[in-house]
Amino acid sequence: MTSIGFVLRMAARELRAAPRRLLPLTGSVAVGVAALVAIDSFTDNVRDSVRQQAQALLGADLVMSSRRPLTEAAESALTTIVASGARIARVTSFSGMAFVPRTTGTRLVQVEAVQPGYPFYGAIVTRPAEAWSGLHEGRRAVVDPTLLTALGARIGDTLSLGEARFEISGTVESAPGNTGIRTAFGPKVYIPLSQLAETKLLGFGSRAEYEAFLQVQPGRSAEAIAGRYRSPMRAQRVTVRTVSEDRNDLNESLSRLTSYLGLVALIALLLGGIGVSSAVVVFIRQRWETVAVLRCLGAGVKQVLAVYALEAAAMGLAGSLIGALGGVAAQRVLPGLLQGLLPINVDPRISWPSAALGVGVGLWVALLFAAIPLLSIRRVPPLAALRRAYESDEPRRFDGWRAAAVIAVVASTVALAAWQAGGWRRGAVFSAGVAAALLLLWGAAWSLAAAARRWAPTRWPYVWRQGLANLRRPSNQTATVILAIGFGSFLLGTLLLVQANLLRTLQLTGGPARPNLVLLDIQPDQLPAIDTMLASGGLLSVGPVPIVPMRLQSVKGRPVTAMLAETADGDGEEPRNGWAFRREYRSTYRDTLVSSERLVKGRWWTGHASPAEVSVESEVAGELGVTVGDTIVWDVQGVPVTTRVSSLRDVEWARFEPNFFVVFAPGPLEGAPQSLVTLTRIERPADRGAFQRRLAERFPNVTTLDLSSVQQTLEDLIARVVLAVRFMALFTLGTGALVLVGALATSRFQRVREGALLRTLGATRGQLFRIVVAEYLSLGLMASGAAMALALLAAWALARFLFEADFTPALVPLAGLVAAVVSLTVGVGLLNSRDVIRRPPLEVLRAE
């Protein structure tokens, strides 16, 4: 008991006297915890919002959807469900060209032809408000406001879609689930389903989705109905979705995003841990004699250890609390950053469990990282009170406690990473990655310092030599600083490179020869007229590329329908590769490979063969489990076509050229019903608009896709994701800066004395200033240089293995980052050294 009283009193007194000594510890913990709490709170809020908004997102209890008009079997199932008391509203959606005669504006739009009642849940809010309820009272259309802007139109204008004309009766202010990605291929236009036929747009080869939205009777379970119909419907290639499935899917994809952000936050916290360690190292060095005196006075090792552990814990707790507050504030920013990416509205509310968890994790990290240096207190000999700078000559033995602390740090890191990444394997991989990056940075720091020592020219000016020498002063913090600054800049650098590379890969319209306008759904009989139009405008074109829609009938002799029904029999879960069997393939035929393709197996065809030859994209071949030599039978508009896989291809999808999962050898498909795609390039946006307009007037069924606007949307989306990640990475750099401040404080006293000494010996303020600049400049250059080398490596690996693209380093932004990091380091260094330069030497020397 007395021992506890002593420990508490001592710790309280010490903290009262000098809490400032442990401020770097508090700060490091605070920033890390803030990052963690921000992202966890946000994740929590996202999950909440998904739970609340999932029903509105789906708009119904149950949705059946298909890429083709529902089959008879599906229709009879619907009839049965409706007979049991469910309400139904059908929606057919497709892409088409909208045209406003008054302004002659044309634009690719997403048409949603809806029946009254849709949506059953969630509201489509329109302006004027009655526009939605009045949609079905005539030939009316409710449109996305961006369409009005794009076409220069206003409410009341006539909008033509195919051969039908609609009155624009209102705009959509908000609709559940509208995201930037969904509007990438055109703004939405809602029309009554009853008017769809008038447009005559759903001709052959159009890509449309046919959906039936169902609201079940109160008290009946949508899940039960879905469970009953899911398997038989799958065989009809009809997908059955319910709210809970939708919610799970959404949660899964959102948690992927938030777990990436969470891992970046974790890095901030781990760097904070390094900050804690370095702060405690400094602290113990200052307390070395006090510890020795306490030991002389009869304090036990455990008592002294407990005093300082308690202090570290108190400061760690303070940091965690401050961090939790900061995190709660910071999470309000995240929904704004991710606007347009999330299909739901995220309400930034305070998540107490996340805050509490953050405080707990912060305290744990503080204690753990403090423990490693704290344990050295046990080695403080009481004799150190008698002799300053006494070093025990006892050999350093293996220290079980220290080893345990190190193991606990590693285990905790893996556990935290597993928690953030959602899985032990991923947690371990992440931890290994962080460890590798830290090791590489540390190695770079060490070898650079060693190189500086060995090869630093002795003829350099004195201030430079002194500055460099400071990097290896006794008890220097060079390695800590390089780790702290380096890791943050490594993350930011990688981000910068990946973003730049991604944007370059997605240069859809890059290069003067690349097409920027895609003409889709051309019917064969329209081709000559369109060719004439292109030729008269002096436009070069790529294509036409024929497209034949088809489905799989059998793979390697096994009927696909049976396979789909069979896999559904078990637990009702569709296997991961189910999509490959179920999907509609839009295939082409030609006799050559195109530039975005690469043959990886088999041989390209040279003549006609029987059965017909096909080349399958390598990934989809993997999903289907086919390889060269296997037989696939296709259902081409009801006609079975037997083929043999003669080669596998890799396809560079990011090129945005007409690419295909399956390419047929010319011959068997030539007579099949098909539509055609042509690409062209029109330089000026105004000309592009005019061409689209003329085309829409003459051939309403032909859809034109303006790749430059798609690219704009994609760039915006990437910028948003990058912004969110960068926001989190800034926490890492923030922790890095704090660790830097803490690490530099280590040698502050020594520096002030040295500075005073140098000035007594005749050094000017200018010389001292230059010494400090030289030191921090080299430190900043080392840290950022090593970090950028690592970032280049990481970005190259990401580009090569994750994005499967070529890597071209963006050196200019990288140089900018190096400049920023170096300025930060020098700035902090100068701030830390202001006393060295400013204080009169006498004052310093007398203070000792």
**Binding residues for other proteins, per CB under 8 A?**
1-3, 5-6, 9-10, 13-14, 16-18, 289-290, 292-303, 381-383, 385-388, 393
Q: Which is nearer to other proteins, 10 or 342 (CB)?
A: 10
CB of 292 to other proteins, least distance (A): 8
Q: How far apart are CA 44 and CA 52, in angstroms?
A: 12
Distance of closest approach, residue 9 Cβ to other proteins, in angstroms: 6
Q: Which is nearer to other proteins, 12 or 440 (CB)?
A: 12
With tokens 């630093």, the residue in question is: 456
Q: Is 703 left (phi over 0), alpha (psi -120 to 50) or beta?
A: beta
Residue 303 CB, nearest approach to other proteins (Å): 7
DSSP state letters, 482-532: HHHHHHHHHHHHHHHHHHHHHHHHT-TT-STTS--EEEEEE-GGGHHHHHH
Cα 784 to Cα 487: distance, rounded to the nearest angstrom = 9
**CB-wise, 349 or 748, nearer to other proteins?**
748
Q: Of 272, 324, 273, 274, nearest to 36 (Cα)?
A: 324
CB 148 within 8 A of CB 684: no
Closest contact distance (angstroms) between CB of 842 and other proteins is 18
Q: Based on CB atoms, which residue is closest to other proteins, 13 or 838?
A: 13
Q: How far apart are alpha carbons 695 and 698 in whole angstroms? A: 5
Minimum CB separation from other proteins for residue 331, in Å?
38
- CB–CB of 466/681 below 8 Å? no
User: 4 or 436: whose CB is closer to other proteins?
Assistant: 4
Tokens 């002194």 identify what position?
466
Report the distance separating Cα 566 and Cα 234, nearest Å.
Answer: 10
CB of 20 to other proteins, least distance (A): 11
Identity of the residue, 6 or 442, whose beta carbon is nearer to other proteins in the bound complex: 6
Q: Taking phi first (over 0 means left), then psi (-120 to 50 degrees means alpha), and beta for anything else, what does residue 623 get?
A: alpha
Q: Measured from the CB atom, is 307 or 743 closer to other proteins?
A: 307
| Shorter beta-carbon distance to other proteins: residue 108 or 307 | 307
Dist CA 560 CA 566 (whole Å): 9
For other proteins, give the closer residue by CB, 197 or 383. 383
- Secondary structure of 684-725 as H, E, C letters: CHHHHHHHHHHHHHHCCCCEEEEHHHHHHHHHHHHHHHHHHH
Nearest distance in Å: CB 280, other proteins? 16
Kindly state the smallest distance separating residue 5's Cβ from other proteins, in Å: 7
How many residues can be counted in the chain? 848
Q: In angstroms, what is the minimal distance from the CB of 392 to other proteins?
A: 9
Where helices occur in 506-627 by DSSP H, the ranges are: 527-536, 560-569, 578-582, 618-624
Position of tokens 């029109």? 682
Cβ 394 to other proteins shortest distance, Å: 9
Measured between alpha carbons, how far is 367 from 288 in angstroms, rounded to an integer?
A: 20
Which of 134/381 has CB closer to other proteins?
Answer: 381
Taking the least distance from each CB to other proteins, the nearer of 247 and 295 is 295
Identity of the amino acid at 581: F
Nearest distance from residue 371's CB to other proteins, in Å? 20
* Secondary structure of residue 452 in the 3-state scheme: helix
